[in-house]
Amino acid sequence: RGCVRAWGRSAPRRRRLARGTQAERQRQRRGAIAAAMERKMRRRRQLERAAAEGGSESDGGSSGSDSGGEGAAPAAKRGRRGSEEVARGGAGGDDAGSGSDGEGSEGGAGAGDGDAAGDAAGAEVIARIGKGFGDVKYVNRQRVLIFSGRGIGARYRHLMDDLRALIPHHKKEAKLDAKDRLSTINEIAEIKGCNTTVFFEVRKKKDLFLWVSKTPNGPSVKFHVLNVHTMDELRMTGNCLKGSRPFLSFDKRFQTAPHLKLLQEMFTQVFGTPRGHPKSQPFNDHVMAFNIADDKVWFRHYQIVDVATEGLDPKVVHKAGGSPVTLVEIGPRFVMDIIRIFKGSFGGPTLYANPGFVTPNKLRAQEKLAYSQRYRARQSDQTVRRARFEAMEEERPKDVLKQVFN
């Protein structure tokens, strides 16, 4: 229920599961609100007791042995009923004896100050609880716009859907028209309220280019995506809760160059689910790994699985060379080849250009040239062989009896 992979279920089955997930989320939200209200009432009772104790101490110190203080003390002990009862108590003390007017008013003022302080503290606690539901606050307002342009194929569209399933803080948008410029994406992101954009650009219906940009001021990175395998295609055994927050694992080589440090920060802002996001789950059950090999970024996605070690001490497991946790791949998997890093969003001055990048058009041209060279070599070999056979026929001695019966 509520997993990243649907395991090939039908559409009605997925809709029922989605409704069940929404109902469960509503129950969790109602439970969180009830717990917050209970904490609020507990804090209010604590403030009332503190105010009552403060009022009784101030009243007792000011009254001494006079009858006015004796009349004001019971009123101050009642806590948050206000200064009117304290004033009435002071008036009763005036009727009983003389010389207690100032002392009764001092006791009422002390109780009133304690009530005001208690009201201010209680309002602060209530505001803090109502804003963040306890200590979980949605502070990191990251929103990622994920969409594509026209001409995207089925494989790349499924990859985009997989990334949307892994990033709960994403926003959707219709396909960008081919006649529109890339700078139009900044306006779309501003309308959607997104500060990061992941755009899938397809050329010739076969080459996928991935843009990762911080809108609207930049920087932006352009990748060439290779070796794409979606979750449904791989059919791995791993799975994770949909909306759970991932662990991001980066290769240590990301700290060896400035442009790689920039990539690490951008990947963190794109794939890192903000804490307390409404569509996220408070669990960490999967890992996104970013590794560098052959000057390319390799993406892998794993599930964190607890090995069945019931009844075993974790120290014993570690001493035996085992681990209570293992990783099972979920998918998708793909490779990103860095093309260029721009200072602006979808353009601007170049901050870094990959000197080893070869365009896919040039690679295809080289493959066609190699094929043509092989074809020419094969044709040349056939010509040489034909000439050799003709020379052998000429050098062969002629049969004089072959024309006798003609």
pLDDT tens figures, 138-183 = 777 889 999 999 999 999 999 999 999 999 999 999 999 988 899 9
User: pLDDT per residue over 214-253, tens digit each?
Assistant: 999 989 999 999 999 999 998 888 999 999 999 999 999 9
**Residue 279 located in a structural domain:** yes
- pLDDT over threshold 60, residue 91: no
Cβ atoms within 10 A of the Cβ of 399, count? 8
Q: Does one domain contain both 169 and 123?
A: no
What whole-number distance in Å separates Cα of residue 393 and Cα of residue 27? 94
**Residue 378 located in a structural domain:** yes
**Residue 3 located in a structural domain:** no
Q: Average pLDDT of the chain?
A: 79
- Domain limits for position 390: 361-394
Q: Does one domain contain both 176 and 291?
A: yes
Q: Does one domain contain both 185 and 306?
A: yes
Domain end, chosen from 107, 132, 157, is at 132
**Residue 34 located in a structural domain:** yes
pLDDT for the residue 44? 85
Q: Does one domain contain both 119 and 185?
A: no
Query: Contact, 161 vs 232, CB < 8 A?
Result: no
**Residue 260 located in a structural domain:** yes
Q: Does one domain contain both 327 and 236?
A: yes
Total of domains in the chain? 3
Q: Does one domain contain both 150 and 28?
A: no
- pLDDT over threshold 80, residue 68: no
Q: pLDDT class for 17, splitting at 50, 70, 90?
A: low
**Residue 73 located in a structural domain:** yes
3-state secondary structure of 126: helix
Beta strands (DSSP E) in 40-165 are 144-148
Single-letter amino acid, residue 52: A
Q: Does one domain contain both 245 and 293?
A: yes
Q: Does one domain contain both 350 and 384?
A: no
Residue 299 CA, chain-centre distance (Å), reads 15
**Which residues 6+ apart lie within 8 Å of 257 measured at CB?**
none
Query: Contact, 224 vs 357, CB < 8 A?
Result: yes
Q: Does one domain contain both 272 and 128?
A: no
**Residue 125 located in a structural domain:** yes
pLDDT for the residue 96? 38
Q: Does one domain contain both 18 and 91?
A: yes
CATH at 277: 3.40.50.10480
Locate 36 and state its tokens: 């917050």
Up-side HSE of residue 187: CA atoms within 13 Å toward CB? Answer: 6
In terms of Cβ atoms closer than 10 Å to its own Cβ (0-12, 13-18, 19+), residue 192 is: middle
**Residue 402 located in a structural domain:** no
Q: Does one domain contain both 345 and 390?
A: no
pLDDT higher at 350 or 324: 350
Domain end, chosen from 78, 103, 132, is at 132
Q: Does one domain contain both 17 and 161?
A: no
Single-letter amino acid, residue 45: R
Whether the upstream peptide bond of residue 314 has omega within 30° of 0, thus cis, is no
Least confident segment among 40-54, 71-85, 285-299, 374-388: 71-85
Domain end, chosen from 112, 132, 152, is at 132
CA-CA-CA-CA torsion sign (227, 230, 231, 235): negative
Residues of the chain with pLDDT > 90: what percent? 47
What whole-number distance in Å separates Cα of residue 290 and Cα of residue 223? 14
In terms of DSSP bridges, do strands 170-171 and 196-203 run parallel, antiparallel, or are they unpaired?
A: unpaired
pLDDT higher at 241 or 106: 241
